[in-house]
Amino acid sequence: MESITKYRQSPQTLRRMIERAYGSELVPTSDDFATELGHGWFNVAYLLRLADGRQVVMKIAPPPAVEVMTYEKDMLVGEVAAIRLLEQATSVPVPDVDHYDPSCELIAAPWFVMTYIPGENFGEVSEAWPHDRQQAVWRQIGAANAELNTILGDGFGRFGTPGVATWREAFTGILEDVLRDGERRDVDLGWSYEEVRQAIADNEACLDAVTVPQFCEWDLWASNVMVADDTITGIIDHERAFWGDPIIEAGFLAASGTGSSEDPSGFLAGYGRGPLTPDELDRRRLYNLHLFLIMTIETVYRGHTTTDQLDIARPALDVAMADLGHVRT
């Protein structure tokens, strides 16, 4: 996916970064040592081959001159912390962080290098698979997601920042940040911003049912799962983690009956639970609104050159508003 947030580097600069991370003896001399990994939507990532033949992945935050959405600021910092936490607290396979450099000395943004996760991207290969084979991996994803959610925090909100006491305060603040981002860039939602705020106010009381801050990966889509021989080899892209309600996890989108044609049965079975309860569905409708607001607004911030994502997000946003009791008249 093309985006103006991708801070690409020359081979010469990449070699200097490798030297800082691994030492001069591992700096490659060949011309084909770096390959950009294209499926990411925000940070640029490179598959690098070191002088000893080892493969690693480098991830670089956006350049400072590019405006990003409020929740995207300092995401790389949060991702490094999240990876390290998951390594310590779970058995879920994640890459090891080999080197993290927030100094902005070699380039004008933080970056880190991690171990390479072997396998194929599940999101890219699974469309050609039969249903039963897909669902077998979704059961593994559900089990992994359930384990991630067992980690408890001290407060609600964005990972790596001071938390707040209630999920309602945290999540309505998250939504307000997204809406202000949209207003700042005059993004057309197809709804007035006050109509969206009213839909949130009409439904936010359901958030009070969530009283325990749990680690939420949020971005655990099929495209952030690596597989080999139908087995998960690693979960990647942990930059959007926060402390909140596990029902916000991506795997529960299909279970809400809105915005996804994916069969949720494998994910739910792996997670160890049945369909969403009425109370959970109430909360999930707000989470769907949040997702489709971001998908709509970020197309402007990232300078998308096609309307592919917008063509999906805007109709889905209309459905999310209708699910919250607001139908266009």
State the pLDDT at residue 3.
77
Query: Does 57 lie in the same domain as 142?
Result: no
Query: Does 78 lie in the same domain as 210?
Result: no
Q: Name the phi and psi angles at 236, rounded to 5.
A: -120, 170
| pLDDT tens per residue, range 226-282 | 999 999 999 999 999 999 999 999 999 999 887 667 899 999 999 999 999 999 999
Domain end marker among 115, 147, 182: 115
Would you say 242 and 159 are in contact if contact means Cβ atoms under 8 Å apart?
yes
| pLDDT tens per residue, range 164-188 | 999 999 999 999 999 999 999 999 9
State the pLDDT at residue 40.
65
Q: Please give the Cα distance from 58 to 100 (Å, whole number).
A: 10
Return the structure tokens found at 92. 């879920």
Query: Does 175 lie in the same domain as 94?
Result: no
State the pLDDT at residue 329.
66
State the pLDDT at residue 282.
97
Domain end marker among 115, 131, 150: 115
Q: Is residue 328 one of the residues assigned to a domain?
A: no
**Residues in the chain where the model's pLDDT stays below 50:** none
Query: Does 136 lie in the same domain as 16?
Result: no
Query: Does 235 lie in the same domain as 188?
Result: yes
Q: Is residue 2 one of the residues assigned to a domain?
A: no
Instruction: Return the beta strands (E) in 163-322 as ranges.
Output: 214-216, 225-228, 231-235, 242-244
State the pLDDT at residue 159.
86
State the pLDDT at residue 2.
65
Query: Does 174 lie in the same domain as 87?
Result: no
* DSSP single-letter state for residue 47: E
Return the structure tokens found at 240. 């959007």
Query: Does 257 lie in the same domain as 187?
Result: yes
Q: Is residue 329 one of the residues assigned to a domain?
A: no
Q: For the whole prediction, is pTM greater than 0.75? A: yes
Q: Is residue 179 one of the residues assigned to a domain?
A: yes
User: 75 lies in which domain range?
Assistant: 11-115
Would you say 284 and 209 are in contact if contact means Cβ atoms under 8 Å apart?
no
Query: Does 199 lie in the same domain as 70?
Result: no
CATH number at residue 250: 3.90.1200.10
Domain end marker among 61, 84, 115: 115
Q: Is 162 helix (H, G, I), strand (E, B) or coil?
A: coil
State the pLDDT at residue 42.
82
Query: Does 312 lie in the same domain as 261?
Result: yes
CATH number at residue 103: 3.30.200.20
State the pLDDT at residue 323.
95
* DSSP single-letter state for residue 164: B
First to last CA, the chain: 36
Provide the domain count of the chain.
Answer: 2
**Long-range CB contacts (within 8 A, 24+) of 317-321:** 317/189, 317/190, 317/191, 317/289, 317/292, 317/293, 318/190, 318/191, 319/258, 319/259, 319/288, 320/258, 320/259, 320/285, 320/288, 320/289, 320/291, 320/292, 321/191, 321/195, 321/196, 321/199, 321/289
State the pLDDT at residue 178.
97
